[in-house]
Amino acid sequence: MAAMSLHHLAQPPMLITGMSGAGLSTAAKVFEDRDWYVAHNLPPELILRLAALCDAEDSPVSKVAMVTDVRARMFRGNMLQMLEELRARGLAPTILFLDARDDVLIKRFDSVRRTHPLQGEDTLAEGIARERRVLSEIKEDADVTLDTSDLSVHDLRRRIEETFGPRVDKRRHVTVQSFGFKHGVPRDSDITVDVRFLPNPYWQPELRPYRGTDAPVAEYVLGQRDAQPFVRNFLEMFDSMQEGYRHEGKNFMTVSIGCTGGHHRSVAIAEEIGKRLSGRADLNVNVVHRDIARD
């Protein structure tokens, strides 16, 4: 089949997939609310057809998101083959993969008293394990992986809106997020760094009530002897990785910066790195603080 160009779609097609119970319906609703045409539960062959229809010159839509999950395996066609075909047609999709810890997925299924689509006569845990095996390759191919384990519906909406804001240019999207190790390491990071080697403002009574977004804490953290060399070294490492990411077609990156509680050091360093990266014409940078409001 002859290659096609994106002569109609304003943005690449969005493919939303991931673990059952991880929030696919919520993600789909976010895109619908942002005026995307969203099609649910599509097998590979229909994804190919819909993408071609939406890219046609007389198409009534300019942005399309397609939701598919493990149930698509029942139909003819292979997800990875479908992705290669879309790329060959010039319709390379952005893949959003939603994930969550097994214990969280089990709790969510139990709360709605549903069985897992791959559970059969076995336990819920075995159904989830089977699904992870089936989806492992497409997860590896994803542009963005969001771990929804600790996200409410509203949190997930915000994360998607932050990640997939207006993006009609060719810039790489970088999310710099701070976090606290005591609340768990983010599972959706491309790069994770630990800034607990810096002195903790928490032990300064006059700084404890503030956060890393406040000037007194930011000045304290960034004024430490090792802070600026760390930021410079990180940016050098970040730059050294960009050619490889471009070669792999990775247009979305998440950098996670952690300290103990996610209130002071990681926040100040994330803000500084975000500020340094924001000056680059080839990057669209967003800074978020996962745990800044948590105890």
Annotated binding-site residues for GTP read 69-72
- Closest by CA position to 91, among listed 67, 72, 64, 70: 64
Is the distance from CB of 239 to CB of 267 less than 8 angstroms? Answer: no
- Binding site listing: 69-72
Is the distance from CB of 28 to CB of 14 less than 8 angstroms? Answer: no
In 10 A of CB 41, how many CB atoms? 13
Q: In what order do the strands lie in the sheet with 144-147?
A: 37-39, 64-67, 14-18, 94-99, 144-147
- Closest by CA position to 167, among listed 51, 63, 89, 97: 63
Is the distance from CB of 27 to CB of 163 less than 8 angstroms? Answer: no
Tokens (6 digits) for 133: 């095996």
